[in-house]
Amino acid sequence: KENLHVNIASEILGVHNKELLDERVNDDFVASEELVSKYLVQLAQSDKIEPILKTLLTASGHEFHMRPTGDYCETNTNLPFSDIVASGIQRNELVVGYRKDGICKLNPDKSRIISFTDSDSIIVLSEQ
């Protein structure tokens, strides 16, 4: 009734349905596995992303490690997770998450206030 124009974003999960892409005549966005995989191949061949992928995906590159929380902060103290990230940067490490009470949390909100114990761990990406 209000004559609104709404764009639709969707994903085609099967390549056998790609004919549906040819029939659209509006501004809707449709992604398919084929489209995403072609884009990832282009990214992987980019001069800017290739060194990152080599670092992450080769045996000689950086690795994920579980580190003691005491290496990054004073335990049993409330602090924002961004302080842990900053501590990792000073150690030339990329802090990507933590393990607390046996549960791993990746990419937590940096402003989240958290307190770690000696049994918790910080998850980092580093050379050693």
Task: Give yes or no for residue 21 having a pLDDT over 70.
Answer: no
Q: What is the DSSP-derived secondary structure letter of residue 73?
A: S
pLDDT digits (tens, 9 = 90+) for 40-86: 777 777 777 777 777 777 777 788 899 999 999 999 999 999 999 99
pLDDT at residue 9, rounded to an integer: 62
**pTM (predicted TM-score):** 0.61
Residue 71's SS3 state is: helix
Q: What are the CA-CA distances from residue 95 to residues 88, 103, 109, 122 (Å)?
A: 6, 16, 12, 7
Per-residue exposure over 16-40, b if at least 16 CB sit within 10 Å of its own CB, e if not = eeeeeeeeeeeeeeeebeeeeeeee
Contacts of 101 (CB under 8 A, 6+ apart): 120
- Residue 80 carries which side chain, given as an amino acid letter? P
Which tokens in the block code for residue 85?
Answer: 């990230």
Q: Which DSSP string corresponds to 26-48?
A: SS-EEEEHHHHHHHHHHHHTSTT
